């Protein structure tokens, strides 16, 4: 309920700054008896880890997670699971410019306006580094809903979208972009390289799908599955838009065109379409949950931008330091993690109310 926690029954809280000694998450309310070891979490962190290709920040962080509590004899005990990741490769001296002036589009000015000052090293708490804590927490959430498969990918970079006809699930892990369209992936290599060299950055659209969610998770109104997912995704750094199912495209459709007709099926209806993204009235229908998330281009760029300094005087700022030319790419495991956390929480809420 406070500012750095998310969830209702399965709840996690994150802490830590980009250039502090460590970051971490406390996952509370996890069911007991689930097999859990650091090896269950590490692969997801590795997927998000910086420095794995030239298309991400060159900061070198091993992102090795430690489980400090909540597990005994290899199983969760039902008590809080404390996860810690040490920061290893900070270079705080890169940020002297940022200390003095505000990066337009970044949290710098708003933080100062709110708190009176800020930890400017690497963006402090507003750094995307925080998302490693989410990925670690999300890895636990996945184990709470073992029947659910969550799969994210990049759908567009800098406005250049994949071709749906070439969608290949197997391709997603074969390139540096989590791109399901091998041809688009090749184009993006050029685009991201160009942006990086130009001291610029690019936005991206990330899509995510969860299969295996039974009908009945979610709740009417203020705990709608759509609402929880929207809050979850919008809480990720650089995210400025979220669509469930057809999203904005549905606003251009007629009622007939947007309907998801049903026919008799095995153990529930067979749906002939999925405009709704698997959620009707805030509750899952048994279809795949589908959403899309818009990541803006990072505002930490080498190209100088007009701004003001802490004293209010005009200046230009060019952000040194190591940054992702396209934060959306490493956003994929983060979107997946938030999807897992929302679904696991909603499964537990459903169990609470409906037995």
Q: Give backbone dihedrals phi and psi of 14, rounded to 5 degrees, phi first.
A: -115, 160
Q: How far is the CB of 174 from a second copy (least distance, A)?
A: 23
Interaction between residue 9 and a second copy (CB under 8 A): yes
State the DSSP H helix or E strand holding residue 344, giving kind and residue range, or none if neither: helix 327-354
Residues in region 51-110 near a second copy by CB under 8 A: 66, 68-70, 72-73, 75, 77-82, 102, 104-110
Please tell me whether 299 is known to bind a ligand: yes
Q: Point out which span in 44-52, 172-180, 181-189, 203-211 binds a second copy (CB under 8 A).
A: 203-211
Residues in region 288-307 near a second copy by CB under 8 A: 292, 294-301, 303, 305-307
Closest CA to 294 of 234, 232, 249: 234
Interaction between residue 156 and a second copy (CB under 8 A): yes
Residues in region 222-251 near a second copy by CB under 8 A: 222-224, 226-235, 237, 239-248, 250-251
Candidate list 285, 289, 329, 336; residue touching a second copy; CB under 8 A: 285
Please give the Cα distance from 298 to 137 (Å, whole number).
24
How many CB atoms are closer than 10 A to CB 143?
17
On whether the CB atoms of residues 232 and 289 are closer than 8 A, the answer is no
Interaction between residue 328 and a second copy (CB under 8 A): yes
Candidate list 50, 124, 288, 333; residue touching a second copy; CB under 8 A: 124
Structure tokens at 222: 């203020």
On whether the CB atoms of residues 17 and 92 are closer than 8 A, the answer is no
Interaction between residue 329 and a second copy (CB under 8 A): no
Q: How far is the CB of 315 from a second copy (least distance, A)?
A: 9
Q: Point out which span in 56-64, 163-171, 176-184, 211-219 binds a second copy (CB under 8 A).
A: 211-219
Please give the Cα distance from 15 to 238 (Å, whole number).
18
On whether the CB atoms of residues 238 and 327 are closer than 8 A, the answer is yes
247 contacts: CB under 8 Å, gap ≥ 6: 277, 291, 292
**Residue nearer to a second copy on the CB measure, 170 or 280:** 280
Closest CA to 200 of 305, 316, 125: 305
99 contacts: CB under 8 Å, gap ≥ 6: 120
Residues in region 158-187 near a second copy by CB under 8 A: 158-159
Interaction between residue 37 and a second copy (CB under 8 A): no
**Residues flagged as binding site for FMN:** 125-127, 237-238, 281, 296-300, 322
Binding residues for NADP(+): 48, 54
């Amino acid at each position: 309920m406070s500012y750095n926690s998310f969830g209702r029954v399965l709840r996690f809280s994150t802490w830590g700054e980009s250039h502090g000694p460590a970051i971490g998450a406390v996952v509370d309310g996890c069911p007991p008896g689930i097999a859990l070891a650091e090896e269950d979490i590490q692969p997801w962190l590795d997927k998000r880890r910086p420095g794995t290709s030239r298309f991400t920040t060159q900061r070198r962080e091993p992102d090795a997670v430690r489980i400090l509590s909540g597990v005994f004899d290899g199983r969760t005990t039902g008590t809080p699971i404390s996860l810690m990741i040490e920061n290893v490769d900070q270079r705080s001296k890169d940020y002297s410019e940022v200390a003095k002036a505000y990066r337009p589009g970044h949290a710098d000015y708003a933080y100062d306006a709110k708190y009176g000052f800020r930890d400017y090293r690497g963006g402090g708490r507003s750094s995307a580094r925080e998302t490693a804590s989410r990925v670690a927490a999300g890895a636990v959430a996945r184990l709470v809903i073992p029947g659910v498969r969550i799969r994210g990918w990049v759908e567009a970079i800098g406005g250049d979208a994949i071709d749906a006809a070439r969608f290949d699930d197997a391709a997603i892990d074969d390139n540096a972009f989590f791109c399901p369209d091998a041809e688009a992936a090749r184009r993006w290599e050029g685009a991201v390289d160009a942006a990086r060299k130009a001291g610029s950055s690019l936005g991206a659209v990330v899509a995510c799908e969860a299969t295996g969610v039974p009908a009945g998770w979610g709740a009417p109104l203020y705990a709608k599955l759509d609402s929880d997912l929207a809050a979850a995704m919008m809480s990720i750094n650089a995210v400025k838009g979220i669509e469930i199912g057809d999203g904005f495209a549905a606003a251009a459709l007629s009622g007939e065109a947007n309907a998801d007709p049903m026919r008799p099926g095995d153990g529930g209806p067979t749906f002939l379409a999925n405009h709704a993204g698997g959620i009707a009235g805030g509750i899952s229908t048994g279809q795949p949950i589908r959403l899309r998330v818009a990541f803006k281009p990072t505002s930490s760029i080498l190209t100088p931008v007009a701004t003001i300094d802490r004293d209010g005087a005009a200046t230009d700022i060019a952000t040194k330091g190591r940054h992702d030319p396209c934060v959306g790419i490493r956003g994929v495991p983060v979107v997946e993690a938030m999807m897992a956390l929302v679904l696991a929480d909603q499964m537990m809420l459903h169990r609470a109310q409906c037995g």
